Amino acid sequence: MEAPYDYQLAVADYYWEGRPAVDPNVWVPGVPLEMTVAPTASQSGLVDGSPGRPQLKLIEEESIDHHYAVEVFKQAAQSLQEERDKMETKIHMFPPSMGDLAAKYAFPKVVAIGPYHHGRTPALRQMESTKHVAAWHFINDSGRLVEEVYGAVCAVADEARSHYDEDKVRAFGDDDFNPMMFYDGCFLLQFLLHWVDEAVDPLLKDAFSSNCTSISYDIALLENQLPWVVVQELMRFMPTPPDLVRFTTDWKATMQPTVPLVDNSPLAWDDSYTPLHLLELLRYYIVGSTTETPAEPDLHKNAEKISISVSAMELAEIGIEITATKPTADLKEMGVNDKPLLTGELLLAPLSLDDANASFLVNMAVLELCTTPDFSVEVEEKSAVCSYLCLLGMVTDSEEDVQQLRKKGILLGGAGLSNKDALELLNRVENRLRPGTHYMRTMVLIENYRKKRPRRIKFHKFHYNYRKAIILTLSGIAGLASFLGALKSLNSSKS
């Protein structure tokens, strides 16, 4: 049957390996093919030259050039591979799969860092004057000429530009982009000094203090990042750079359920690690890192299938209690603790879940999604936040489940997030994330737990489901025994 003349067959959807998602055998002559790659010079006449998005013109069957078409497909695959290779060095935007979460957790409130949200709202534009003040004091403190400091930023501006989405920075010429990098870098470093209680100008201190919560929220957004190459270049001019060890230690403490009254023990710092931007730096130390990948647990020999999700009620029925790890635990510290003689434990790191930390968790998880296409071939830390949020979402089906997590010391705090809000957040996030390696390991361990103690689980499930009836029955028996004992005593006294 002849294909309709206006039928559109998209062939730009490629797998990461570079293979076309559509079998070339189904390409029908006479069907227009939409491509986003430039043709060779010899075939330029076949291409619609619309700016930014060239398309292959309609090709009639008798004029099909097989070799040219193959070359176009090859170029598309190469282009996609180049994009894949840049995944870990790109400052990403929220993917469409995150849906309405982007509206809540992607946009800055008071300060735009980088080009993605530059000047987007009046509130963001208002902070630009504060950036100029920060730059003035940065230059003053450095004791260097403006030309020298600004020139150093310009020297790395091309590299910085390469980390952003090309379509989003195309509108910014060097005369716009380079000053943006300079002002944003000075502002960010002055704010970090303020965070760790280093002296900053009183005027800046007032501006930072009055907006500290909102600025902290904004600088941890995925779409609001500054390439670390700019930060490093500017730090060379600072007499006293901000203490990043203390900054990350204090930031991690804000996510924990208790706040120490004395200074925290500093995190173990990895001098060999260079982040792409601030959010990546924070995620690296809050998740916790390791150079070794634990051996994958073997699925029990009697297991015929494995559940990809288990509710809090199912866990309770089989005797696995949801338990908080130590208050200072890294997010990666999750899994199942199988006690041979007692019930098991699903271990999760405790968390102070307020609105700011919810945003931070979501942005760290989206960073993992955007930079790691296949969690299964990477170390577990690459997907730890996704695993943590998926496990929290798995065991929260109702507001009562959220309340139980609070009682168990896993979800504490809650400023700005009621049980209803927390439930909605965790369910929405769980539905949009890819389960990470920790999550899948935990599912295997839960299945192994089921298979290793089937009789004990049956007994525990019976006790769990009928405990109220059992308690009432035992209470009734005890009451009856008490009554019979009293009756016997009464009869004895009469005789």
Q: Could you report the per-residue pLDDT of 239-276, keeping only the tens digit for each?
A: 999 999 999 999 998 888 766 555 567 788 898 999 99
H or E stretch covering 178? helix 174-195
* Dist. CA 183–CA 149, nearest whole Å: 11
Judge if 59 and 36 occupy the same domain.
yes
User: Is residue 415's pLDDT more than 60?
Assistant: yes
Lookup: tokens for 275? 């982040």
Least confidently predicted of 21-30, 176-185, 193-202, 398-407: 21-30
* Dist. CA 42–CA 69, nearest whole Å: 12
In a domain, 206, yes or no: yes
Judge if 360 and 227 occupy the same domain.
no
In a domain, 429, yes or no: yes
Q: Are 38 and 32 in contact (CB under 8 A)?
A: no
User: Is residue 10's pLDDT more than 50?
Assistant: no
Could you tell me the residue range of the domain that residue 14 belongs to? 9-85
Q: What is the pLDDT of residue 458?
A: 65
In a domain, 288, yes or no: no
Q: What is the pLDDT of residue 264?
A: 62
Lookup: tokens for 336? 């199942």
The overall average pLDDT reported for the chain is: 81
Which residue reads 């997030």 in tokens? 417
Residue 5 pLDDT level (bands cut at 50, 70, 90)? very low
Q: What is the pLDDT of residue 300?
A: 62
Judge if 350 and 446 occupy the same domain.
yes
Residue 29 pLDDT level (bands cut at 50, 70, 90)? very low
Residue 45 pLDDT level (bands cut at 50, 70, 90)? very low
Contacts made by residues 109-113, CB under 8 angstroms, sequence distance 24+: 109/214, 109/217, 109/218, 110/211, 110/214, 110/215, 110/218, 111/187, 111/211, 111/214, 111/215, 111/218, 111/219, 111/224, 112/218, 112/224, 113/184, 113/187, 113/188, 113/218, 113/219, 113/224, 113/225, 113/226
In a domain, 183, yes or no: yes
Judge if 73 and 120 occupy the same domain.
no
User: Is residue 2's pLDDT more than 60?
Assistant: no
* Dist. CA 146–CA 153, nearest whole Å: 11
Q: What is the pLDDT of residue 21?
A: 43
Least confidently predicted of 20-29, 242-251, 338-347: 20-29
More confident site: 79 or 164: 164
Q: What is the DSSP letter of 119?
A: T
* Dist. CA 338–CA 342, nearest whole Å: 8
Residue 138 pLDDT level (bands cut at 50, 70, 90)? very high
In a domain, 409, yes or no: yes
The pairing of beta strand 9-10 with beta strand 33-34:
parallel
In a domain, 299, yes or no: no
**Which of these three, 242, 258, 293, is where a domain ends?**
242
Judge if 389 and 411 occupy the same domain.
yes
Give backbone dihedrals phi and psi of 459, rounded to 5 degrees, phi first. Answer: -65, -45
Amino acid at 470: I
Give the pLDDT mean for 288-293. 61
User: Is residue 176's pLDDT more than 50?
Assistant: yes
Judge if 401 and 329 occupy the same domain.
yes
Which of 57-61, 194-198, 218-222, 379-383 shows the highest mean pLDDT? Answer: 218-222
**This prediction's pTM:** 0.79
User: Is residue 25's pLDDT more than 50?
Assistant: no
User: Is residue 33's pLDDT more than 50?
Assistant: no
Give backbone dihedrals phi and psi of 345, rounded to 5 degrees, phi first. Answer: -135, 135
More confident site: 299 or 203: 203
Lookup: tokens for 432? 């949009």
**Which of these three, 196, 222, 242, is where a domain ends?**
242
Q: Are 317 and 465 in contact (CB under 8 A)?
A: yes
Q: What is the pLDDT of residue 13?
A: 38
Q: Are 16 and 84 in contact (CB under 8 A)?
A: yes
Judge if 100 and 21 occupy the same domain.
no
User: Is residue 160's pLDDT more than 70?
Assistant: yes
In tens, the pLDDT along 52-84 reads: 444 545 445 555 677 777 888 888 888 777 777
User: Is residue 286's pLDDT more than 70?
Assistant: yes
In a domain, 320, yes or no: yes
Q: Are 404 and 455 in contact (CB under 8 A)?
A: no
Judge if 35 and 109 occupy the same domain.
no
Least confidently predicted of 15-29, 111-125, 278-292: 15-29
Q: What is the pLDDT of residue 42?
A: 43
**Which of these three, 60, 85, 110, is where a domain ends?**
85
In tens, the pLDDT along 474-487 reads: 565 665 556 566 55
Cα distances (angstroms) measured from residue 160 to each of 91, 219, 229, 383: 10, 17, 7, 26
In a domain, 277, yes or no: no
Q: What is the pLDDT of residue 77?
A: 85
User: Is residue 321's pLDDT more than 70?
Assistant: yes
Q: Are 121 and 249 in contact (CB under 8 A)?
A: no
Judge if 140 and 118 occupy the same domain.
yes
Judge if 120 and 207 occupy the same domain.
yes
Judge if 420 and 470 occupy the same domain.
no
Number of domains forming the structure of the chain: 4
* Dist. CA 48–CA 37, nearest whole Å: 11
Least confidently predicted of 26-35, 63-72, 204-213, 435-444: 26-35
Judge if 111 and 229 occupy the same domain.
yes
